[in-house]
């Protein structure tokens, strides 16, 4: 169980967050570059010292600025896999993996056994004698992982583990990594900028924006109730934020971009509103009818989703930007193309509003 609360500053950048990770879980920290993700890992590893904060792992206090406690990295039970792996170039894979065990003073017999075991587990036993510079990206990643795991750390820190890999390798490694993390009982903090990885790996997802947590939750929480435009984009849904103005059967949410009719609201309150792209219907002419929300604008982008698939993602230059998902047939029958002005409509019932 990791309890991490830190406030840190580097130059102009301020980081402030508090998170808890259950023992054995994988918490994904997702955000754009510069959002402070790597800083969190460095603080957890003890490589940096927060201005204020407290970090406790399984009851052991690693950092406590009020008590002037800062346990150095080499005394923490933390495994760290950095973005570019940092495998020691002058050592073979096996020696790299053995490095931490040697530093911890393990006996050579034990070292041999454990190294062999972890190399097997990560599938790189055949590479034991090779030097890191001769390995492919995927192999290096596995070596770096093995090196951290062989020490049985209580906290595993992964900094964008898939970012340095090419697309194909990434797909392959992604599945293996997911399996591995599920098997391990190590509490893991996984940092990424990829929404897909966040949704795939995260038992628990922390969204970091500008040094602060904007949302925390599991997959479903994020999908259903994104609390910021960034998160909404992350999960691929349409997002509004506004204030509900009426409380009877038909309510309105006043947003910066216009009013939305929603089915109902309990009271006048600030609300987030999402609209699933699939709930949006496109028309070439302004529709009549019961759908209460209509936005008009040019088509900015038409992209099949997934590539070669049946559905097409349509980005509209409406205010706000809307993303709709329609079938290929619809595109064809409506004669949709980039630049054409369309009307996008969605029913009040198709909206989800929440606090």
Q: Between residues 11 and 339, which has the closer beta carbon with respect to other proteins?
A: 11
Residue 147 touches other proteins, criterion: CB under 8 A:
yes
What is the Cα 247 distance to its own chain's centre? 36
In the complex with other proteins, which residue's Cβ is closer, 110 or 301? 110
163 binds other proteins per the rule CB under 8 A = no
Query: Measured from the CB atom, is 8 or 238 closer to other proteins?
Result: 8
Number of separate helices (H) and strands (E) present in the chain: 9, 21
Which of 68, 120, 74 has the alpha carbon at shortest distance from 99? 74
Binding mask 296-325 for other proteins (x = CB under 8 A): ------------------------------
Q: Given candidates 43, 50, 99, 188, which one binds other proteins under the rule CB under 8 A?
A: 99
The distance of closest approach from Cβ of residue 81 to other proteins in the complex, given in angstroms and rounded to an integer, is: 9
Please report which residue ranges of the chain form alpha helices under DSSP H.
37-45, 93-103, 108-121, 137-149, 167-183, 195-201, 219-224, 229-235, 328-334
Site for other proteins, residues 51 to 90, rule: CB under 8 A:
72-76, 78-80, 82, 84-90
Tell me which residues in 13-52 interact with other proteins (CB under 8 A). Answer: 45-47
Binding other proteins (rule: CB under 8 A), the pick from 103, 269, 303, 340 is 103
Which of the ranges 10-18, 126-134, 183-191, 249-257 carries the binding residues for other proteins, by CB under 8 A? 126-134
Rounded CA gap, 209 and 191, in Å?
A: 13
**Chain centroid offset of residue 93 CA:** 30
* Residue with Cβ nearer other proteins (74 or 354): 74
341 DSSP β-pair partners: 298
The residue (of 45 and 181) whose beta carbon lies closer to other proteins is 45
- If one counts every other C-beta atom within 10 angstroms of the C-beta of residue 164, the result is 16
Question: What spatial distance separates the first Cα and last Cα of the chain, rounded to whole Å?
Answer: 29
Beta bridge partner(s), residue 291: none
Residue 279 DSSP class: G
Residue of 151, 262, 314, 316 that binds other proteins (CB under 8 A): 151
Angstrom distance (rounded) from CA 197 to CA 211: 20
Among 100, 202, 217, 277, binds other proteins (CB under 8 A): 100
User: By C-alpha distance, which of 121, 163, 111, 113 is closest to 143?
Assistant: 121
The length of the chain in residues reads 355
Q: Which is nearer to other proteins, 80 or 240 (CB)?
A: 80
Q: Give 66 or 133: the residue with its C-beta nearer to other proteins.
A: 133
Nearer to other proteins, 159 or 279 (CB): 159
Binding window for other proteins (CB under 8 A); candidates: 99-107, 206-214, 245-253, 305-313: 99-107
The CA-based diameter of the chain, rounded to the nearest angstrom, is 79
Going by DSSP bridges, is the β-strand pair 69-70/155-159 parallel, antiparallel, or unpaired?
unpaired
| CB-based contact 193:30 (threshold 8 Å) | yes
What are the backbone angles phi and psi of residue 144, rounded to the nearest 5°? -65, -40
Q: Which of 94, 148, 189, 232 binds other proteins (CB under 8 A)?
A: 148
Smallest gap from residue 104 Cβ to other proteins (A): 5
Tokens of 300: 């900015």
Q: How many residues bind other proteins (CB under 8 A)?
A: 29
* Footprint on this chain of other proteins (rule: CB under 8 A): 45-47, 72-76, 78-80, 82, 84-90, 99-100, 103-104, 131-133, 147-148, 151
């Amino acid at each position: 169980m990791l309890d991490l609360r830190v406030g840190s500053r580097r130059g102009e950048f301020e980081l402030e967050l508090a998170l808890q990770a259950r023992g054995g879980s994988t918490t994904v920290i997702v955000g754009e570059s510069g959002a402070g993700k790597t800083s969190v890992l460095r603080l957890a590893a003890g490589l940096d010292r927060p201005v204020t904060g407290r970090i406790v792992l399984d009851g052991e206090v690693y950092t406590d600025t009020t008590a002037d406690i800062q346990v150095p990295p080499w005394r923490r039970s933390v495994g760290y896999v950095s973005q570019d792996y940092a495998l020691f170039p002058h050592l073979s894979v096996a020696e790299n993996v053995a490095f931490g065990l040697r530093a911890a003073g393990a006996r050579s017999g034990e070292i041999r056994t454990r190294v062999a075991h972890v190399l097997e587990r990560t599938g790189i036993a055949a590479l034991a004698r090779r030097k890191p510079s001769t390995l492919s990206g995927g192999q290096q990643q596995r070596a770096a992982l093995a090196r951290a795991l062989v020490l049985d750390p209580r906290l595993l820190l992964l900094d964008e583990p898939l970012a340095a890999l090419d697309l194909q390798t990434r797909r392959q490694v992604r599945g293996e990594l997911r399996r591995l993390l599920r098997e391990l009982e190590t509490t893991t903090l996984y940092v990424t900028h990829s929404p897909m990885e966040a949704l795939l790996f995260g038992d628990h997802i922390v969204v970091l924006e500008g040094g602060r947590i904007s949302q925390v939750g599991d997959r479903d929480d994020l999908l259903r109730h994104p609390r910021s435009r960034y998160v909404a984009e992350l999960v691929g849904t349409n997002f509004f934020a506004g204030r509900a103005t009426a409380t009877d059967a038909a309510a309105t949410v006043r947003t910066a971009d216009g009013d939305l009719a929603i089915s109902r609201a309990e009271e006048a309150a600030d609300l987030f509103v999402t609209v699933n792209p699939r709930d949006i219907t496109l028309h070439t002419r302004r529709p009549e009818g019961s759908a209460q929300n209509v936005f008009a604008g040019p088509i900015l982008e038409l992209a099949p989703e997934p590539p070669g698939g049946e559905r097409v993602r349509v980005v509209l230059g409406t205010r706000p930007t809307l993303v709709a998902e329609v079938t290929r047939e619809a595109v064809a029958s409506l004669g949709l193309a980039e630049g054409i002005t369309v009307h996008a409509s969605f029913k009040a019932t198709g909206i989800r509003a929440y606090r």
